[in-house]
Amino acid sequence: MAFPSNFVWGAATAAYQIEGSSSVDGRTPSVWDTFAERPGKVYGGHTGEIACDHYRRFKEDVALMKELGLKAYRFSVSWSRILPEGRGKINQKGLDFYVSLVDELLSAGIEPWLTLYHWDMPQCLQREGGWLNPATGDAFAELTRALAVALGDRVTYWMTLNEPQCFVALGHYAGLHAPGLTLGDDDIAKVIHYVLVAHGKSVKALREIGGDRYKIGFVPTTRAIIPATESAEDIEACRDLLFSFNPQPNSMWTFAAFVDPVLLGEYPADYLARFEAHLPARWRDDLPLISQKLDYCGVNLYAGELFESTPDGIRMVTPVPGAPQSALKWPVQPATLRWVPRFMWERYKLPIMIAENGLALSDWVSLDGKVHDPARIDYTWRYLLELEKAIADGAEIAGYFHWSLMDNFEWAEGYKERFGLVHVDFETQKRIPKDSAIWYRRVMETNGASLHDKP
Ligand code: BGC
């Protein structure tokens, strides 16, 4: 079964990870600027102050995307560039940056996919409670409106939130990401709820402006639970576990707690059994707002773990000693791209968009001046062949965005490892397409047919 002819091929980035220019043209700090300044929070004391200098080099970057054959580009916006006070007065210069970026993309024949929130809450809103403050959702709707008014006739594809699990669990519970909080269950349940309401307000604002012409989704992630074999028992057990209350590594990773309210209009019963008491008063009244119609569901998938069903229950059987892993020590498990999208499709009946997938490596420039990354080619090749199986299984898969277009600021890991198809020298800002970029160009060009060439 081949990739459908309208399959979207692209690559992704996020504002704070690539833009730099963090204090120019009226932008105010986000929680990531503040967090990165705190000693010991980010590897090597790295920050996004310069990053890939994309804010100043976007034309060059779009030209490179065109040369690399990208059909679509997923990027996010910096909230505090557009609304320096978090809400209220629009900073025209900040907004104009995204207008110019979108114009540049369109004239290069690249479809923009705009993510409204990829973790960089304005610090001024954080001071008022950030996601713990229900009013933040209204500010998010303002941000959405500002962008839809400015770009509404040119951007069709919108994504509200990127990986709410990560910014909730890592940012508000584990304290490992901005804003670095370690809240208890009581607050966390409220944070999750307010985040979902913010998503709802954003969708509402988009529909008011763009109606059905807009194609809207959101982008959760999950711990990937993959059947070790194709036996009906293993498949069933993994499907169950994927959508059940998950206390490992902590309950904020319960996939269905984030996705069911949005796509099914209700929190899962096993989540409510533990968290209902902590939800804000009248939380049920918000469910219709949270669950407005979406056109697709995004998902970001990287690592995965194999499980088998046993008479004593489900059991994890990986990683085996010496198993492949990324430079960040994430287990490589290609079948992740077959089973998670398939399970999601079966449960939610919406096209699934792979909004991120990629591999961290310690790439460098070789003596021949090129960047050879055979492991990234092999990884992407294997994952995409598995995605093709999901399509053959009957799942509707809308497209695939590789993470990332270029090496960038990897949050708490700083610039330690590299995820890009394009190598970035952070001293000189020189870009070099890696071997994987050349390989991926052919995959996109042939709509995936080249995946069946001999490796
Ligand atoms: C995030 C990206 C991040 C990538 C690799 C996802 O969690 O959306 O911002 O760089 O995975 O860690």
Give 14-34 pLDDT, tens digit per residue.
999 999 999 999 999 999 999
Does the C-beta of 120 come closer than 6 Å to ligand 1?
A: no
CA dist 304 and 333 (Å) reads 5
Does the C-beta of 405 come closer than 6 Å to ligand 1?
A: no
Residue recorded with tokens 């607050």? 187
pLDDT of residue 53: 99
Q: At what angle do helices 435-445 and 374-392 cross, to 10 degrees?
A: 30
Does the C-beta of 14 come closer than 6 Å to ligand 1?
A: yes
Residue recorded with tokens 């705009």? 114
Does the C-beta of 51 come closer than 6 Å to ligand 1?
A: no
pLDDT of residue 252: 78
pLDDT of residue 14: 99
Long-range contacts of 387-391 (CB under 8 A, 24+ apart): 387/337, 387/338, 387/341, 387/354, 388/1, 388/2, 388/3, 388/448, 388/451, 389/338, 390/337, 390/338, 390/339, 390/341, 390/342, 390/345, 391/1, 391/2, 391/3, 391/4
Closest atom of ligand 1 to CA, residue 163: 8
Mutation test residue for ligand 1: of 168, 356, 401, 409, the one with most atoms within 8 Å of CB: 356
Does the C-beta of 401 come closer than 6 Å to ligand 1?
A: no
CA of 115 to the centre of ligand 1 (A): 13
CA dist 35 and 13 (Å) reads 20
| Contact assessment for residue 351 and residue 296, using Cβ atoms and an 8 Å cutoff | yes
Does the C-beta of 166 come closer than 6 Å to ligand 1?
A: yes
Catalytic option among 104, 356, 388, 417: 356
CA of 156 to the centre of ligand 1 (A): 23
Does the C-beta of 355 come closer than 6 Å to ligand 1?
A: no
Q: Is 223 helix (H, G, I), strand (E, B) or coil?
A: coil
Closest atom of ligand 1 to CA, residue 410: 10
Strands 431-433 and 111-117: what pairing? unpaired
pLDDT of residue 1: 63
CA of 125 to the centre of ligand 1 (A): 23
Active site residue 356: yes
Does the C-beta of 33 come closer than 6 Å to ligand 1?
A: no
Catalytic option among 142, 163, 386, 410: 163
Closest atom of ligand 1 to CA, residue 162: 8
CA of 277 to the centre of ligand 1 (A): 32
Q: CB within 8 A of 393, min separation 6: which ones?
A: 338, 342
pLDDT of residue 293: 98
Does the C-beta of 403 come closer than 6 Å to ligand 1?
A: yes
CA of 45 to the centre of ligand 1 (A): 19
Give me 168's structure tokens. 């909730």
Nearest Cα neighbor of 263 from 134, 113, 114, 160 is: 160
Which of the residues in the chain have pLDDT under 50? none
Closest atom of ligand 1 to CA, residue 404: 10
Closest atom of ligand 1 to CA, residue 14: 9
Closest atom of ligand 1 to CA, residue 419: 5
pLDDT of residue 204: 98
CA dist 417 and 293 (Å) reads 38
CA of 435 to the centre of ligand 1 (A): 22
pLDDT of residue 222: 96
**What is the CB neighbour count within 10 angstroms for residue 60?**
13
Does the C-beta of 417 come closer than 6 Å to ligand 1?
A: no
Q: Which residues pair with 269 in a beta bridge?
A: none
pTM of the model: 0.98
Does the C-beta of 162 come closer than 6 Å to ligand 1?
A: yes
Active site residue 163: yes
pLDDT of residue 115: 99
